[in-house]
Structure 1
Amino acid sequence: MKSWSVGVIGLVCLAATVAGAYSSPQILLAVAVLTAAGVGIGWPHFLGIPARKTLAVLIGLPGVGSAVAASYLPAPGFLDWTPSFMAVGVMAIFVMQLIRGTGQAQRLESTLGSCAGVLLSCLGAGWIASSRFNGVREMLLVAAISAAIALMAGLIRWPDRIVAPLGIVGAGLAGPLAGLVFSDIAVLPAALAGIVVGAVLVSFRRLVVLGGEGLGLLAAVGMGLGPVSAVGSLAYFIDKLLIY
Structure 2
Amino acid sequence: MKSWSIGIIGLAGLAAIIAGAYSSPEVLLAAAALTAVAVGVGWPHFLGIPAKKTLAALIGLPGVGSAVAATYLPAPGFLDWTPSFMAAGVIAIFVMQLLRGTGQAQRLESTLGSCAGVLLSCLGAGWIACSRFNGVREMFLVAAISAAIALLAGLIRWPDRVVAPLGVVGAGLAGPLAGLVFSDIAVIPAAVAGGVVGAVLVSFRRLVILRGDELNFLAVLGMGLGPVSAVGSLAYFIDKLLIY
TM range (shorter): over 0.9
Q: Distance in 2 between matches of 1:53 and 1:104?
A: 16
Runs of 4+ with deviation above 4 angstroms: none
1:153 aligns with 2:153: yes
Q: Does 1:191 align with 2:191?
A: yes
How many Å separate the matches in 1 of 2:82 and 2:169?
Answer: 31
Aligned residue in 2 for 1:101 = 101
Structure 1: distance between partners of 2:185 and 2:19: 21
Distance 1:103 1:202 in 2: 36
* C-alpha displacement of 1:213: 5.6
Report 1:88-167 matches (<5 A): 88-167=88-167
1:45-93 deviation digits (Å, cap 9, x = unpaired) = 0000000000000000000000000000000000000000000000000
Unaligned stretches of 5+ residues in structure 1 = none
Distance in structure 1 (CA, Å) of the matches to 2:175 and 2:200: 14
* Structure 2 length-normalised TM: 0.99
Give deviations 1:201-239, integer Å, cap 9, x for gaps: 000001111223611000000000000000000000000
User: Match for residue 31 of structure 1?
Assistant: 31
Once the two structures are superposed, the pairs formed by residues 2-41 of structure 1 within 5 Å of their partners are 2-41=2-41
User: What one-letter code is carried by the residue in structure 1 that aligns with 2:232?
Assistant: G
Letter in 2 for 1:206: R
Does 2:219 correspond to 1:219?
A: yes
CA RMSD of aligned residues (A): 0.6
The equivalent of 1:239 in structure 2 is: 239
Say if 1:3 and 1:213, in contact at 8 Å, map to a contact too: no
Q: Report the counterpart of residue 76 of structure 1 in structure 2.
A: 76
Cα distance in 1 for partners of 2:211, 2:9 equals 16
Aligned residues of 1:58 and 1:92 also touching (Cα < 8 A): yes
Structure 2 residues not aligned, in runs of 5+:
none
TM-score (norm 1): 0.99
Mapped pair 1:175 → 2:156: no
Which amino acid in the other structure matches residue 241 of structure 2? L
Secondary structure in structure 2 of the residue aligned to 1:76: coil
Sequence identity percentage: 86
